[in-house]
Amino acid sequence: MADYQSYYVPEQSKWPIIATVGLGVTLYGAASIMVNSTQGASTSSAWFVFWAGILIMIYMLFGWFGSVIKESRSGLYSPQMDRSFRWGMSWFIFSEVMFFGAFFGALFYARVFAVPWLGGEGDRGSSNMLWEGFQATWPLINNPDPEAFPAPESVIGAWGLPLVNTILLVTSSFTVTIAHHALKADKRTKAKIWLGATILLALVFLFFQAEEYMHAYQELNLTLESGIYGSTFFMLTGFHGFHVMLGTLMLIIMLIRIQKGHFTADNHFGFEATSWYWHFVDVVWLGLFIFVYVI
């Protein structure tokens, strides 16, 4: 056991319990906002609870990650600890993949089964009795019940902004890898430049995505409420956009950390985990581009 190094078991920590309180308060606030506004009651106190929870969460994130960074930089972590982090991050990303899988599944089910059945096709074509004369199309721009769910006038084409966004995001996957190689070669200025470029691409992506949403809501009447196309479109791209936002924040923090002199050529898992996450976000986008926009 010559290569054995003691595994770092942290002392008592206040961060998990703060995280629990933070998450609980945030979600309780969010639920109260939703319930109160559906019932037409005032939501101001619920918003207060929600933001209080968010503040606790931000405080916790800085504190918890801060102490992990401090421990890492003071050399408390062994290679074995590093492997635990790697397993942790990989399985976390796998869980995220499965989360997106649920929404992709809903999209496929609606396209391949539910909508054609409502249009009278296949084994369960008798569903057509519900709204006789309903014609199944995809993208669904004529809902079965247009009064309950006013249909969109049209949908976002693939070859405009979405194509630009695809190019942006794929490029950013390359730039973050260049930055990673630079960091490994201890060329920190180069790493900073390429990481900065990645962040820039990410921000432009987010800007275009916001632009696209405004276009959809204001001009196309494509909204969350416009039937299953709008539901799947906004939930998939919305959750993806949220993840891009998170990833961008992570990248910005990595840039700050490099600036502050953190990371060495062979010890920079924080950076690596962020780049894994970034590649994951990129791959999900490719799935979105193909299945939501193109096909």
Partner 1 sequence: MSAVAGTHAQDQHHGPARGFSRWLLTTNHKDIGSMYLIFSFTMFLLGGTMAMVIRAELFQPGLQIVQPEFFNQMTTMHGLIMVFGAVMPAFVGLANWMIPLMIGAPDMALPRMNNWSFWLLPCAFLILVSTLFMEGGAPNFGWTFYAPLSTTYGPPSTTFFVFAIHIMGVSSIMGAINVIATVLNMRAPGMTLMKMPMFVWTWLITAFLLIAVMPVLAGVVTMVLMDINFGTSFFNAAGGGDPVLFQHVFWFFGHPEVYIMILPAFGAISQIIPAFSRKRLFGYSSMVYATGAIAMLSFLVWAHHMFTVGVPVAGQLFFMYATLLIAVPTGVKVFNWVATMFRGALSFETPMLFAVAFVILFSIGGFSGVMLAIAPADFQYHDTYFVVAHFHYVLVPGAIFGIFASAYFWLPKWTGHMYDETLGKTHFWLSFIGMNLAFFPMHFLGLAGMPRRIPDYALQFADFNMVSSIGAFMFGATQLLFVLIVVKCVKGGEKAPAKPWDGAEGLEWTLPSPAPYHTFSTPPEVK
Binders of partner 1 among residues 98 to 157 (CB under 8 A) are 98-99, 101-103, 105-106, 109-110, 113-115, 117-118, 122-124, 127, 130-131, 140, 143-145, 148-149
Minimum distance between the CB of residue 128 and partner 1, rounded to whole angstroms? 11
Nearest to 177 by CA among 287, 284, 278, 285: 278
Note whether 16 binds partner 1 by CB under 8 A.
yes
The number of residues in the chain equals: 295
Instruction: Rule CB under 8 A: choose which of 48, 62, 66, 88 binds partner 1.
Output: 88
Of the pair 144, 162, the CB lying nearest partner 1 is at: 144
Query: What CA–CA distance (Å, rounded) separates 241 from 211?
Result: 12
Q: How many CB atoms lie within 10 A of CB 93?
A: 16
Pick the closest to residue 177 from 189, 195, 164, 202 (CA basis). Answer: 195
CB of 18 to partner 1, least distance (A): 10
Q: Which residue has the tokens 């299945």?
A: 291
Site for partner 1 in 20-79 (CB under 8 A): 20-21, 23-24, 27-28, 30-31, 34-35, 38-39, 64, 74-76, 78
| Minimum CB distance to partner 1, residue 127 (Å) | 7
CB contact at 8 A, 244 and 281: yes
What stretches of the chain show up as alpha helix (H) in DSSP? 15-38, 44-73, 79-109, 115-118, 161-184, 188-215, 227-259, 269-288
- Choice from 13, 135, 154, 218 touching partner 1 (CB under 8 A): 13
**How far is 211 from 209, CA to CA, in rounded Å?**
5
Q: How far apart are CB 225 and partner 1 at their closest, in Å?
A: 4
Rounded to the nearest whole angstrom, what is the least distance from the CB of residue 182 to partner 1 in the complex?
29
Minimum Å gap between C-beta 96 and partner 1 is 7
Residue linked to tokens 């979600």: 27
Please count the residues of this chain forming the interface with partner 1, following the rule CB under 8 A: 82
Whose Cβ is closer to partner 1: residue 78's or residue 221's? 78
Closer by beta carbon to partner 1, 48 or else 242: 242
> Per-residue b/e over 159-184, b at no fewer than 16 CB within 10 Å?
eebbeebbebbeebbebbebbbebbb
The C-alpha atoms of residue 281 and residue 224 are separated, in whole angstroms, by 22
Residue type, 262: H
Q: Which is nearer to partner 1, 14 or 181 (CB)?
A: 14
Residue closer to partner 1 (CB basis): 125 or 196: 125
The token pair that represents 74 in the structure block? 């003071």
Task: Between 8 and 174, name the residue whose CB sits nearer to partner 1.
Answer: 8
Q: Which two structure tokens, joined as six digits, stand for 114? A: 């539910």
- Identify residues 226-255 at the interface with partner 1 (CB under 8 A): 226-232, 234-235
Question: From the list 45, 84, 135, 154, which residue makes contact with partner 1 (rule: CB under 8 A)?
Answer: 84
Q: Is 264 in the site for partner 1 (CB under 8 A)?
A: no
Of positions 55, 181, 225, 294, contacts partner 1 by CB under 8 A: 225
* Residue pair 243/96 in contact by the 8 Å Cβ criterion: yes
Shortest Å distance, C-beta 245 to partner 1:
17
**Cβ atoms 107, 292 nearer than 8 A:** yes
Rule CB under 8 A: which of 162-221 touch partner 1? none
